[in-house]
Amino acid sequence: MEVINYIPEQLKGNDAYMNILNRVSVRRFDDKPVTSEHLSAILHAAMSAPSAVNKQPWEFIVVDDHELLTQLSEALPYAKMTASAPAAIIVCGNRERFLSGVDDVLWEQDLSAASENILLAAHAIGLGGVWTCIYPHAERISPVKRILNIPEELIPFNLIPIGYPEKEHAPIDKWHPDRVHRNRF
Q: Quickly state the pLDDT bin for 139 (edges 50, 70, 90).
A: very high
pLDDT > 70 in the chain, percent: 97
107-121, 138-152, 164-178 — which is least confidently predicted?
Answer: 164-178
CB-CB contact of 127 with 119 (8 Å): no
pLDDT of residue 28: 97
pLDDT of residue 2: 44
pLDDT of residue 163: 98
**Cβ count within 10 A of residue 102:** 7
Burial pattern 126-135, b for ≥16 Cβ within 10 A else e, equals ebbbbbbebb
Q: Which residue stretches of the chain are H helix?
A: 15-22, 36-46, 66-75, 106-125, 138-148
Beta pairing, strands 128-129 & 58-63: unpaired
Average pLDDT over residues 62-79: 98
Q: Where are the domains of the chain?
A: 26-167
Which of 117, 147, 128 minimizes the C-alpha distance to 56? 117
pLDDT of residue 110: 98
Collapsed DSSP state (helix, strand, coil) of residue 17: helix
Q: Quickly state the pLDDT bin for 12 (edges 50, 70, 90).
A: confident
Quick one: fold of 26-167? NADH Oxidase (3.40.109)
pTM over 0.85: yes
pLDDT of residue 3: 45
